Amino acid sequence: MSEPEPQSETQSNRMLTVDIWRGDAEDGAFQTYEVPQMESQTVLDVVTYIQRKLDPSLSYRFSCRVGMCGSCAMTVNGKPRWTCRSHVDSVVENGRIQVAPLRNMPVIKDLATDMSVFFDKWQKSKSQFVPTDGDASEFAVVDPTSKERKAASAGIECIGCGVCYAACDVVEWNPDYLGPAALNRAWTLVNDSRDGDAEGHLRAVATDAGCHACHSHQSCARNCPTSLNPTASIAGLKRKVFAAALKGRL
Amino acid sequence: MTGPHVNRIAIRNHPTYWAFVLHRVSGLALAVFLPAHLYVLSLAIDGAVRLDGFLHWAEYPLVKAGEVGLVVLLAAHLAGGLRILAVEFLPWRDWQKTLVAIGAAFALGVGVLFLLRAV
């Protein structure tokens, strides 16, 4: 008598109806698939199931599967999310899930977007660290309890997944807007005591498409998977830019 | 940018977004109202009879109800503006929902007070 095969996944008889966006930058439509519902199943598991078992032509992007790389973000039932950290149980509505590519970025194919516009804006916001000590001959002594360091530390855990950028209406209304992630990065540098060009960072974001374009909707903060608050960072930049402008430094 | 048509309400359905919408809508409504307001004031220059005629019309319940709505919009716009100033010029506070709630309570409170005086 042979041993029954060990079950690696707990599969229920329930089926999930999944609407997946299929198309490219020009055109597309939602296509519906039926996927067996499983215990502890994530939305990424669902997308992977469709690609491996139902339709190998489906394109999507993922890497680590554990919420560290930020490459699997998609729009799930209208909200941008890391699909690897989104349990089906927490997002399913009447047995149905809709998965679409991230908003505000051109679609390459299906669920994969071209994120270069998002990363180009990190460059435009001059978010490169400018060392004060060029050869780093000494260890920088940073007081972890200082107000500036606390402000910088509050924003540094961004992994560049693009969820905030996709959640932001201002990005949609003004395609030049630098967006929450790039501005949040600028705020961490402005508050970094080791950075030598705070005014340069402020000048780069003190434009019509910079920090002042933010309407403080706070959709970025609401959707950030790492619970960062780009709106607070942008509000900080507005205050710093205002103060610097009053002093004639911009 | 061509993209899928997804439910846009899901991403916008939260208190600080609604506060933004209310601030915009009340601002636009007040901008539309302002010329009418100035026109009525100008009636006083033309003569008391015309102004009194209008003020008599303004006593109708429906017009009074509209006036309450206007006062609520004005108070909402004032509270919303103060909230934006607080967000942009004061150190960040994490109780943003509370700020929105205070603004909404202020606007409705002013509306209720006006209603009590009107009836």
Per-residue pLDDT of chain B (119 residues; tens, 9 = 90+): 556 878 889 999 999 999 999 999 999 999 999 998 898 888 888 778 888 888 888 788 888 888 889 999 999 999 999 999 999 999 898 888 888 889 999 989 998 898 888 76
Same domain? For A172 and A213 the reply is yes
Contact A42, A85 (CB under 8 A): yes
Which stretches of chain B sit within 8 Å of chain A by CB? 1-4, 6-12, 14, 16-17, 20, 84, 87-89, 92, 94, 96
* Same domain assignment for residues A127 and A80: no
Domain finish residue from A80, A97, A113? A113
Distance separating alpha carbons of residues A43 and A81, to the nearest angstrom: 10
For residue A179, pLDDT beyond 50: yes
Q: Based on the structure, what is the number of domains in chain A?
A: 2
Pairing outcome for strands A96-100 and A11-23: parallel
Comparing A118 with B3, which gets the higher pLDDT?
A118
Does the CB of A98 have a partner CB in chain B at under 8 Å? yes
Identity of residue A63: S
Question: What is the SS3 assignment for B5?
Answer: coil
CATH number of the domain where residue A207 is located: 1.10.1060.10
Residue A119 corresponds to which tokens in the numbers above? 């990363």
Find out whether A15 and A36 touch, Cβ atoms under 8 Å: yes
- Residue B44 tokens read as 């006083």
Mutation for B interface: A26, A219, A227, most B CBs within 10 A: A219
Whole-complex ipTM:
0.87
Give the whole-angstrom CA distance, residue A162 versus residue A118: 7
Q: How far apart are CA B33 and CA B44, in angstroms?
A: 18
Structural domain contains residue A36? yes
CA distances from B12 to A161, A222, A226, B80, B82 (A): 20, 10, 19, 18, 22
pLDDT of residue A88: 97
What spatial distance separates the first Cα and last Cα of chain A, rounded to whole Å? 82
Question: B-chain residues within 8 Å CB-CB of A217?
Answer: 12, 16-17, 20
Residue type, A200: G
CA A222 to chain centre: 12
Same domain, A68 and A95: yes
* Nearest Cα to Cα of residue A205 among A190, A191, A215, A195: A190
pLDDT number for residue A6: 46
In terms of DSSP H, where are the helices of chain A? 43-49, 88-91, 116-124, 147-153, 163-167, 169-173, 180-190, 198-205, 219-223, 230-246
Residue A12 pLDDT > 70: no
Residue A4, pLDDT above cutoff 90: no
- Is residue A140 within 8 Å of residue A59, measured between CB atoms? no
Predicted confidence at residue A10, as pLDDT, reads 58
How far A217 CA lies from chain B's nearest CA (Å)? Answer: 5
A4 inside domain: no
| pLDDT confidence of residue A11 | 61
Nearest residue of chain A to residue B23 (CA atoms): A215
Is the domain of A50 the same as that of A142? no
Report, as an integer, the average pLDDT of A144-167: 96
Contact call for A77 and B3, based on CB within 8 A: no
String of DSSP letters for A206-224: -STTTGGG-----HHHHH-
Chain A residues whose beta carbon lies within 8 Å of the beta carbon of residue B92:
229, 232, 235-236
**Where among A113, A139, A170 does a domain terminate?**
A113
My answer on whether A124 and A81 are in the same domain is no
Q: Are residues A70 and A47 in the same domain?
A: yes
Residue A3 covered by a domain = no
Task: Tell me how many degrees the CA angle A61-A64-A69 measures, rounded to the nearest 5.
Answer: 80
A87-109 pLDDT per residue, tens: 999 999 999 999 999 999 999 99
The answer as to whether A104 is a domain residue is yes
The answer to whether residue A6 is domain-embedded is no
Q: Residue B87: closest CA among chain A residues belongs to which residue? A: A235
Q: Is residue A135 part of a domain?
A: yes
Same domain, A99 and A24: yes
Domain boundary among the residues A97, A113, A129 is at: A113
Which of B12, B23, B88 is best to mutate for the A interface (most A CBs within 10 A)? B88
Confidence (pLDDT) at B119: 64
CB A187 within 8 A of CB A237: yes
Q: What is the DSSP letter of A134?
A: T
For the purposes of burial, counting CB atoms within 10 Å of the CB of A237, is it exposed (0-12), middle (13-18) or buried (19 or more)?
Answer: buried
Q: Which residue in the set B1, B11, B17 is minimally distant from A79, CB to CB? A: B11
Is A2 part of any domain? no
**Residue A216 and residue B89: Cβ atoms within 8 Å?**
no
Taking residues A52-56, what's their average pLDDT?
Answer: 97
* A138 — pLDDT class (breaks 50, 70, 90): confident
Neighbours of B13 (CB within 10 A): 14
State the average pLDDT for chain A: 93
Same domain assignment for residues A191 and A95 = no
Distances (CA, A) of A74 to A47, A81, A198, B108: 11, 6, 34, 39
Domains annotated for chain B, with CATH where assigned, are: 9-118 (1.20.1300.10)
In this prediction, residue A146 carries a pLDDT of: 96
Cα(A98)–Cα(A17) distance, rounded to whole angstroms? Answer: 9
Kindly report the CATH number assigned to the domain that includes residue A28.
3.10.20.30
Q: Are A76 and A131 in a shared domain?
A: no
Q: Comparing A2 with A148, which gets the higher pLDDT?
A: A148
Q: Are residues A21 and A92 in the same domain?
A: yes
Q: Which amino acid is at A145?
A: T
Both tokens of residue A146? 């200082």
Residue B2: the pLDDT is 53
Do A66 and A93 sit in the same domain of this protein? yes
Which residues of chain A lie closer than 8 angstroms to B8, CB-CB? 78
**A131 and A228 together in one domain:** yes
| A138: containing domain | 116-246
Size of interface A-B (CB pairs under 8 A): 73
A1, part of any domain: no
Q: How far apart are CA A215 and CA B16, in angstroms?
A: 10
Which residue of chain B comes nearest to A31, CA vs CA? B4
| Tens-place pLDDT, residues A183-234 | 999 999 999 999 999 999 999 999 999 999 999 999 999 999 999 999 999 9
Q: Which two tokens stand for residue A36?
A: 């067996």
CA distance A100 to A94: 18
Task: Decide if pLDDT at A136 tops 80.
Answer: no
Residue A238 has pLDDT above 70, yes or no: yes
